[in-house]
Amino acid sequence: MNEIPIIENVLKLNDDVAADNRRRLNELGVFTIDLIGSPGCGKTTLLEQTLRRLSGEYNIGVIVGDLATTRDAARLHRWCEHIVQINTDRGCHLEAHQIRRALDRLDVERLDILIIENVGNLICPVGFDLGQDVKVGMFSVTEGDDKAAKHPHLVCLADLILLNKVDLAGAVLFDEAQFNSDVARLNAEVPVMKIDAVHGRVDPWLEWLRNSGLSHRHTMTEAMLG
């Protein structure tokens, strides 16, 4: 009887801090994304493209989670000044209190969009609310067409699914129909967007980000005026 109450307390504490983060970010009108995917699915490459293409339009902040190294943050720093790296050592996911501390290190007031690049892991980050507005689940074709079916909790909770490295789909015999039907069975609402981040083919994602970010700011402004 010892373990489960403790685990619940940890999650409850996390959720309380996440709610604080969400309130703070919403009051400032910062549209916040929790980006979850495998190691090497292309999260950092996607963010490089995103910053390169959108940094003239929006102030974008990035919080990067990794066990070790600051390589991702260094890659992104070329395009963006609002970056915090969180090194988790053995930690397999980010938690809300880490985001709270990271927010203190960012000029949050100046941001339009905040993207949290979670630790590369399709499992553990899913259960931890960080205070984000949306969760984005990212897969790549080189991981295989069975990965949506094998990670149902992420697919069920995701507001958007990105499928990256589609230029390699032929080389790895990726069965797109299988992947799409697994996603649809688990979450009938969630859109799936095919991208090829390394070659800059990320237009649907940028469009989604523009629309979601804009509509979010609009809703927040109305809520505050009303």
- Whether 47 and 114 have beta carbons less than 8 Å apart is answered as no
**Candidate list 11, 168, 184, 206; residue touching a copy of itself; CB under 8 A:** 168
Q: Which residues inside 6-45 make contact with a copy of itself, applying CB under 8 A?
A: 6, 9-10, 38-41
The interface region with a copy of itself, picked from 100-108, 110-118, 151-159, 204-212 by CB under 8 A, is 151-159
**Rounded least distance, CB 95 to a copy of itself, Å:** 13
Q: Which residue has the tokens 């902040």?
A: 61
Confirm or reject binding of residue 214 to a copy of itself (CB under 8 A).
no
Q: Are strands 31-37 and 160-164 parallel, antiparallel or unpaired?
A: unpaired
User: What is the Cα–Cα distance from 58 to 165, expressed in whole angstroms?
Assistant: 26
The H or E element spanning position 106 is none
Q: Of residues 71, 110, 199, 218, which one binds a copy of itself by CB under 8 A?
A: 71
Q: Which is nearer to a copy of itself, 69 or 211 (CB)?
A: 69
Indicate which single residue of 171, 214, 223, 224 sits in contact with a copy of itself (rule: CB under 8 A): 171
**For residues 152 and 204, which CB has a smaller minimum distance to a copy of itself in the complex?**
152
Range 74-133, binding a copy of itself (CB under 8 A): 90, 92, 119-124, 126-127
Both tokens of 21, joined, read 């983060």
CA distance from start to end of the chain: 48
Burial 30-61 (b: 16+ CB within 10 A, else e): bbbbbbbbbeebbbbbbbbbbbebbeeebbbb
Of 154, 152, 159, nearest to 189 by C-alpha is 159
What residue ranges bind a copy of itself (CB under 8 A)?
A: 2-3, 6, 9-10, 38-41, 66-69, 71, 90, 92, 119-124, 126-127, 140, 142-144, 146-147, 149-153, 165, 168, 171-172, 198
